[in-house]
Amino acid sequence: MAIERTLTIIKPDAAGASHIGEIITELERAGFHILAMRKMHLSRAQAEGFYAVHRDRPFFESLVTFMTEGEIVPMALERENAISALRELMGPTNASEAPAGTIRGKFGTSIERNAIHGSDAPETAAVELAFFFSRLELDR
């Protein structure tokens, strides 16, 4: 099994509801090592840049608005099969369909307000990690 790195973001809904600590605990219990982490507030330009791949999708505007409404916590995570393991721990994108034991099942409320983001592929993870963290922060 391969050690991978992935990006996760605790989104404004979960951060604003004081679930940061609970989500970090879930991640660590699942065997994730936190390489880098910060708490920040995205500007509109930053959110548009991060989600540029969705620019032509009908939900782009509401996603950018949501992601700029409060603080977020991006984290660089590492473990064996990190991408698939994180996606399983998060649960389906639509929180109303997420099993109770998943992060989205516990803390999400809708398809948009779903508490957490996770990279979906190694190539995406590399781009997303570089968006939030420098090589210096990620080199160990």
Kindly provide the b/e burial profile for residues 89-119, where b requires at least 16 CB atoms within 10 angstroms of the residue's own CB: bbbbbebeebeeebbbbbbbeeebbbbbbbb
Give the active site residue among 33, 41, 54, 117: 117
CA distance 118 to 9: 7
The C-alpha atoms of residue 88 and residue 86 are separated, in whole angstroms, by: 5
- Closest alpha carbon to 46 in 20, 72, 24: 72
Confirm whether 117 is a catalytic residue.
yes
CA distances from 63 to 48, 81, 137 (A): 9, 28, 27
> What are the catalytic residues?
117
